[in-house]
Amino acid sequence: MDERFRVGTPGPHNNTSEMTGMRIPVCFALIFLGALTSLSVRATEVTLIAAGGIQVAVERMAPDFERVTGYKLKVVFGPGGITKDRIIRGQPFDVAVV
């Protein structure tokens, strides 16, 4: 097998940070699509609660999400443990990323 096509082979042809970077937007796209299918027709805002570790990724994707879907994205960031507590306490949200 050609070494250039082996997963995990170091070199300029295999940048795992690029692969990881692509996973995040794909995951968020799937999460947002799932949230949209559960929203009522009248909803104009999607509330996302998430751990602060993904803040940069969400902030980069939010403008495109809002432009493409027409929904306003309301995001509440916090430490992972606090985000989990918000979910357990029943804080209203459409999408949670813990």
pLDDT tens-digit profile of 51-92?
999 999 999 999 998 998 889 999 999 998 888 898 899 989
Rg for the chain (alpha carbons), in Å?
17
Taking the alpha carbons of 33, 73, 49, 54 in that order, is the dihedral positive or negative? positive
Task: Kindly report the CATH number assigned to the domain that includes residue 63.
Answer: 3.40.190
Which residue, chain included where needed, has tokens 């027409």?
Answer: 70
Query: In 3-state terms, what secondary structure has residue 77?
Result: strand
Which two structure tokens, joined as six digits, stand for 73? Answer: 């994205």
Distance, CA of 73 to CA of 85 (rounded, Å): 21
**Contact between residue 96 and residue 47 where contact means Cβ atoms under 8 Å apart:** no
What residues make up the domain containing 52?
Answer: 3-97
Which helix (H) or strand (E) segment holds residue 42: the answer is none
Rounded mean pLDDT, 41-57: 84
Q: What's the whole-model pTM score?
A: 0.56
CA 53 to chain centre: 11
Number of domains making up the chain:
1
Residue 12 clears pLDDT 60, i.e. is over it: no
Which two structure tokens, joined as six digits, stand for 95? Answer: 């999408």
The pLDDT assigned to 97 comes to 82
